[in-house]
A and B are shown apart, each in its own frame.
Chain A
Amino acid sequence: MLLKSLDHVFWLGRYLERLDDTARLINATSHVLIDSHQDTQFGWPILLEVLGQDSAALLQKFQQGDTPLTLAETERAVMACLINAPDSPVSIRATCAALKQNARTLRPLIPRDMWEELNALDLFLQQHCSTAVSRQQRYQLMAEVSRRCQMVVGVLDGTMLRGDAFDVFNIGRHLERADMTTRIMDVLVLQQLQPTQIKRPKFRWLSVLNALGGMESYQYYLAHQKGDVDAIDYLLTYADFPRSISYCLNRVAASAKTLPHAGAILAQLQQVQALLKPQALSELSTVQLHSLIDELQAGIIGLHQQILEPCLQPVAVVQLSA
């Protein structure tokens, strides 16, 4: 694989996962948020915070003069930012454009079937995500985006050559997923808890699990675990659940082990995995849990840099004979 392709393949994986995760996030939280108009803490802007955006600054652009946005206007503005606004960096439309751009650069590595599936996804979004989407259409649309992302992954899994590119793509997907899971936990769960609490409360906010497609397996987890566990243990440490942090990190490790710079990646990875010792988790206060999530996020950023590190090596300067 070309050295420069490392960066493109990695981002191809991240963007594809981000597209899927954004669609899931919108659907899973919509039902809760529609009912939560009395609760100022659980407003629509929180979805922008999950994606690392300054919601106040973004939403100001939608405001006419000093009049604050109504609840319905806020919902429309947030959804525009998440789905179709051309200048929103986190919109599904922008993510898909970035995905397509990476795929274009990588065309020779991408099997024809996957290329066609990516095109179909892009055409679908151009057709359905270019204008405002009503609440009624939204659920169907997001479910379809998610489904089409899964089709791309499925086709790729069935046709792509097992080599460095395939491994790096999977590392990108799972790192993005781990990143999204920590963000969701951080914003949707932890920021809503009082930081003064000595011991964290048992938290069973099911919409988070819905966003991650993990409702049923959570019930299974609860039924089969000894001790007092909750959604936080599940999302962080349950390695059989494909959206838990543990699972994602294991997959990154498995995919990284044959890369030329596996040593540095795996060393970094072990430090992140060490944060997830299950015994310690149940004793954490909310504040400590918060800082654990911060450490995980910093670890994910460190991994990201470690994976792309070879791209940063300077080109060897060669003296040419005249």
Chain B
Amino acid sequence: MGQSFSGYPQLPDCFDELVSPAGTARAPATAIARFIERHGTTELLRRQQQLDQTIRSMGVCFTLYSEGQNIDRAWPLDVMPRTIPLSEWRRTSAGLMQRLQALNLFIDDLYHDQRILRAGIVPAELVLQSRNFLAPCRGVSPPFGVWSHICGTDLVRDGQGQFLVLEDNLRVPSGVSYMLENRTVMKRVFPELFADSTIVPVDDYPHQLWKMLASLSPRPGDVPCIVLLTPGIYNSAYFEHSYLAQQMGIELVENTDLQVDADGVYLRTLNGLQRVDVIYRRVDDIFLDPTVFRPDSVLGVPGLFQAWAKGQVAIANAPGSGVADDKVIYAYVPQIIEYYLGEKPLIDNVPTYLCSDEQQRAYVLANLDQLVVKPANESGGYGILIGPRATDAERALMAEAIAKDPRNFVAQPTLQLSTAPTLCDGVLEPRHLDLRPFVLQGRDLYCSTGGLSRVALRRGSLVVNSSQGGGSKDTWIINDEV
């Protein structure tokens, strides 16, 4: 076994998902290695073409905005899967569920008694001055005390192959539809590899999502009316919105399909108004309700916030859940887990230095050439300094900015993200990747089987976003317990 990866140009300091340092296939990658051995990379290339064709005819796409035009691009999926043993995945998913549970206790505490702030575990001003802390949410008690029902946690592996949490996405995380469609495509393209059935299925997710949403209904006992609220067909994630609505058998609605009166939220159907119990919203907090948040929102539903606060309708994720989705709060998650659950975190954070702390700041300033510095309240990669790739002048500017407003900066070591063999111009080459599993919490907790593996297709690149030349891989959790 393992011959097929001879000549594979492994990167020295990176953990490879499929190939051991000796150049042989890791145990969960045995079947795919055997396939390559038997058929060669020319067959892989042929399957890649078949795969691309399948994606086009299935209409799996993502939307790019370019020059005011919406362009549907075929979803990029690499023919080589990423494999993870089930035994390792069990530990990882337990850690993910632990994390979401603690974060929900944290959010609920922040909007009620704020015990953790009074205990001095998390500095009060960090939370109270955050623009993600939504004052109108104070005192609201959503079902089960859960605010973030759907979490897309970004995981990376360090050089030793240890999973670390890079980011918690607690607002409107996307990507799960591609996780599901990647599997559908791969089953069509590699029927023989699925035949021995050690690849754990992923298709339970839509049902679990539906079950979680149903558990939030304010009218338990009745068949719940659940809707997915989308900004509309021009939104970049519209594919996912329509896909999930279809997979769960619920209505896909825009704000104009909903109306609110004193009793609750209603859906405008051909048969008249229908009471809505649960809204899976894919619209950002500040656009949800123009009477409470941004008055210029054209995506919102007037009165929706009040209906939610009164418990007439459930909203997932709840407004205000973004307060725990913040780069400075992130640094405190290990303490948050210990405070609420009395447990050690099962998955570590990427080490994070807070510039607000004098000692840590000194370390950051002394090691700017090795660290990645991120502003706490920006997203989308704005204002980030990648120390090893920056010029002296850029580093000097950053040092100045940190000195001026230390609370607004965090720093992390530059990570050696793990790699996996990826078909590039007909040859297998290592490419960096991350993993976004999806964790659900309502009455129960659930973690997806694996997640969406995103891969940076350019050599040496660490950028996995599909809008910036990133691709994806099907994530195979291989049952190693049989």
Contacts and interface: CB of A to CB of B under 8 A. Distances in A.
Interface of A: 1-6, 101, 104-105, 107-110, 115-116, 118-120, 123, 164, 259-260, 310, 315-316, 318, 320-321
Nearest to B58: A116
B256 A315 contact: yes
A320 B250 CA distance: 27
A1 B269 contact: yes
Contacts of A6: 270
Contact of B259 (A1, A105, A315): A315
B53 to A, nearest CB: 9
A105 B243 CA distance: 11
B270 A105 contact: no
Which 7 residue pairs are nearest across A and B when measured between Cβ atoms?
A: A107-B242, A108-B246, A108-B245, A119-B59, A3-B268, A320-B303, A108-B252
Interface string B260-282: 11100001111110000000000
Contacts of A108: 242, 245-246, 250-252
Contacts of A116: 57-59
Contacts of A320: 260-262, 291, 302-303, 306
Contacts of A105: 233
B270 A104 contact: no
Interface of A is mostly: helix
B270 A259 contact: yes
Contacts of B267: 2
Given A320-B291, A320-B306, A321-B262, 6 more contacts: A1-B271, A2-B257, A6-B270, A119-B57, A123-B57, A315-B268
B253 interface: yes
B112 interface: no
B261 A3 contact: no
Nearest to B247: A108
Contacts of B262: 320-321
A288 to B, nearest CB: 39
13 contacts: A2-B253, A3-B268, A4-B268, A104-B242, A105-B233, A107-B242, A108-B252, A116-B58, A119-B57, A164-B270, A259-B270, A315-B268, A321-B262
Contacts of A315: 256, 259, 268
B268 to A, nearest CB: 5
Contacts of A164: 270
Nearest to B307: A320
Contacts of A123: 56-57
Interface in B28-79: 56-59
Nearest to A118: B59
Given A2-B251, A164-B270, A315-B256, A104 B233 contact: yes
B181 to A, nearest CB: 11
Contacts of A107: 242-243, 245-246, 252
Contacts of A101: 233
A86 to B, nearest CB: 14
Contacts of A120: 57
Given A2-B267, A107-B243, A260-B271, A119 B259 contact: no
B59 to A, nearest CB: 4
Contacts of A104: 233, 238, 242
Contact of A4 (B250, B256, B291): B256
Contacts of B261: 318, 320
Contact of A3 (B233, B257, B291): B257
Contact of A260 (B270, B303, B306): B270
Contacts of B270: 1-3, 5-6, 164, 259-260, 310
B256 A119 contact: no
